[in-house]
Amino acid sequence: MLFMPHTTELIIEKIVAGGLGLSRTDEGVVLVRGALPGERVRAEIRAGRGVQQGITREVLTPSPDRVDAPDLPTTDLAHASYPAQLRYKREFVQEALTRIAKLNHPVAPTVPSPRQWAYRNTAQYLVTPQGLAYRERRGHSAQSVAQDPLLMENVQTVSRLLDTSKLEGVLELSLRGSRLTGEVVATLIAPGEPRQYLKAADELMDCGVVGVSLAAPAGRRFSAGVHLIAGEPEISEQFGEVVCSVSASSFAQVNPEAAGLAYIRAARLAGRGPLAIDLYGGSGAIGRHLAPNFGKVVVLDTDFDALARGRHDVREAGTRNVSFRDGDAAQLAQASLQAGVVIVDPPRVGLSDMARDALHHSSALRVVYVSCDPATWARDVGDLVRRGWTLGEVTPHDFYPQTSHVEVVSVLERRELPTPAHE
């Protein structure tokens, strides 16, 4: 059945996760992009099964928090003032705790990003005949982009100077810049051999890039391997109190200054002790912050490249009490990893049932949970609290100004270990 869009007037009650304005009508809940709490808007609604969704076409009664905003797929909350964005993000976390975890627990004010614009060190573009483009929201069509004000200036400079006609055969382009050094590296996503893209690499190097790599198209980003074409494979970036090596194809937080504030908080919440484990630790950006206060820190991850970068970085820094292991939550039960403190920073899907079981049955009396998704974080926290853990400080951090994304740094503690189950 084809559902035709229609236009209607709505009163927006609140903002929910995803930056959508929620309105209640006689026909049910409607979620509207581009609206703010308290506004009366004219919205185009596409009817369908389940919750209706739409987009704001005209603001009839604007909120005092409304500001002018660029029309980009990357900015779904830029039409709100920055103080309002911080309030909304705290409310996202509070609502997740109440609705999903079923906990009435205080949430601290959102820690702002040091920069509201030009903070993002990474961009991934489609390469089209018309130039660089972003994917449209909720689809695969391209939206040409001349400038993205969220990007660091050095990344913007490369994208502005680039002649995409010289990127023949390239499907996508990933750029990563460093605020610490000012350098930029690039990864071409394209089929074929590195020698086919020497002209493209020369063009990027002429635009100021210090290294170019090639990744084959794959269902999961960069999962088919990355090969260096020219220059340097990695650059250095500062995250809080540590310097890490990053590439255009590696995972690293896109707002290093804001991430650094969260990592410093996580280290404070971890406290002190003989041994800490950094689970889902990647190259150790969080775990290395624990090194001054623990006799030993073990970083566990299953990403070989991230572990290799981490080992390189601690050698360069002269840090002797941080080690890296290929492993996951199952290793928490090993006698050699009897740690009183565990840091977890899982992907957006949160902790699996197995991981929560492993945490609960580990030797840890304290868990510092860093999350990029309030919903899965609240699910996991609610489960651990029902098992006897106590939730302590909960602080949202804004890594992504002008968007609806929010990070959470929190701590859970318990007084005693669980009694082993009888066989």
Query: What is the CATH number for 215?
Result: 2.40.50.1070
Output the pLDDT for position 28: 87
The runs of H, that is alpha helices, within 225-365 are: 256-270, 287-290, 304-317, 353-360
Neighbours of 134 (CB within 10 A): 17
pLDDT band at 142 (very low <50, low <70, confident <90, very high): confident
For the residues 39-57, what does the mean pLDDT come to?
Answer: 87
Residue 349 and residue 274 in one domain: yes
Residue 17 and residue 97 in one domain: no
Q: Mean pLDDT score of the chain, rounded to an integer?
A: 93
Whole-angstrom distance, CA of residue 209 vs CA of residue 186? 7
Residue 110 and residue 129 in one domain: no
Cβ proximity of 60 and 34 under 8 Å: no
pLDDT band at 169 (very low <50, low <70, confident <90, very high): very high
pLDDT band at 1 (very low <50, low <70, confident <90, very high): very low
* Sequence-separated (6 or more) residues with CB below 8 Å from residue 311: 324
Output the pLDDT for position 4: 63
- State the catalytic residue, choosing from 372, 375, 411, 412: 372
Residue 183 and residue 207 in one domain: yes
pLDDT at 153 over 70: yes
pLDDT at 300 over 60: yes
Residue 261 and residue 399 in one domain: yes
Phi and psi at residue 245, to the nearest 5°: -90, 135
Domain range for residue 11? 5-66
Give the 3-state secondary structure of residue 92: helix
Cβ proximity of 52 and 28 under 8 Å: yes
Output the pLDDT for position 308: 95
Q: Which of 211, 238, 265 is the last residue of a domain?
A: 238
pLDDT band at 331 (very low <50, low <70, confident <90, very high): confident
**Structural domain includes residue 363:** yes
Residue type, 418: P
pLDDT band at 141 (very low <50, low <70, confident <90, very high): low
Residue 99 and residue 131 in one domain: no
For the residues 247-257, what does the mean pLDDT come to?
Answer: 92
Residue type, 137: R
**Structural domain includes residue 188:** yes
Cβ proximity of 337 and 298 under 8 Å: yes
Residue, of 129 and 420, whose pLDDT is higher? 129
Q: Please identify which residue in the block is written with the tokens 């490249």.
A: 305
Residue 268 and residue 403 in one domain: yes
**Structural domain includes residue 420:** no
**Structural domain includes residue 83:** no
In degrees, rounded to 5, the angle at the alpha carbon of residue 403 between the alpha carbons of residues 209 and 188 is 25
Q: Which of 238, 272, 301 is the last residue of a domain?
A: 238
**Structural domain includes residue 273:** yes
Residue type, 138: R
* Strand pairing category for 184-189 and 40-46: unpaired
Output the pLDDT for position 10: 96
Give the model confidence (pLDDT) of 397-408 as tens digits: 999 999 999 999
pLDDT band at 333 (very low <50, low <70, confident <90, very high): confident
Residue 176 and residue 154 in one domain: yes
pLDDT band at 79 (very low <50, low <70, confident <90, very high): very high
pLDDT at 64 over 90: yes
Beta partners for residue 21, in sequence order: 15, 32
**Structural domain includes residue 352:** yes
Number of domains in the chain: 3
For the residues 357-378, what does the mean pLDDT come to?
Answer: 97
Neighbours of 180 (CB within 10 A): 15
What element of type H or E holds 53? Answer: strand 52-61
**Structural domain includes residue 393:** yes
Residue 267 and residue 352 in one domain: yes
Q: Which of 238, 265, 281 is the last residue of a domain?
A: 238
Residue type, 366: R
pLDDT at 422 over 50: no
Residue 232 and residue 283 in one domain: no
Known catalytic residue: 207? no
We report the CATH number of the domain holding residue 59 as 2.40.50.140
**Structural domain includes residue 422:** no
Q: Please give the structure tokens belonging to residue 9.
A: 């007037």
We report the CATH number of the domain holding residue 302 as 3.40.50.150
For the residues 140-156, what does the mean pLDDT come to?
Answer: 85
Residue 299 and residue 400 in one domain: yes
Cβ proximity of 82 and 72 under 8 Å: no
Residue 315 and residue 176 in one domain: no
DSSP conformation class of 120: B
Whole-angstrom distance, CA of residue 412 vs CA of residue 414? 7
CA dihedral over 13, 19, 25, 29, signed as positive or negative: negative
Output the pLDDT for position 248: 86
Give the model confidence (pLDDT) of 101-129 as tens digits: 999 999 999 999 999 999 999 999 999 98
Cβ proximity of 371 and 100 under 8 Å: no
Summarize the annotated binding site for S-adenosyl-L-methionine as residue ranges: 253, 280, 301, 345
pLDDT at 146 over 90: no
Output the pLDDT for position 71: 80
Whole-angstrom distance, CA of residue 396 vs CA of residue 207? 37
Whole-angstrom distance, CA of residue 333 vs CA of residue 339? 10
Give the model confidence (pLDDT) of 192-223 as tens digits: 999 999 999 999 999 999 999 999 988 777 77
Output the pLDDT for position 423: 41
Burial of 354 (0-12, 13-18, 19+ CB in 10 A): exposed
Write the DSSP assignment of 215-261 as a string of letters: E---SSTTTT-EEEEEE-S-EEEEETTEEEEE-SSS---S-HHHHHH
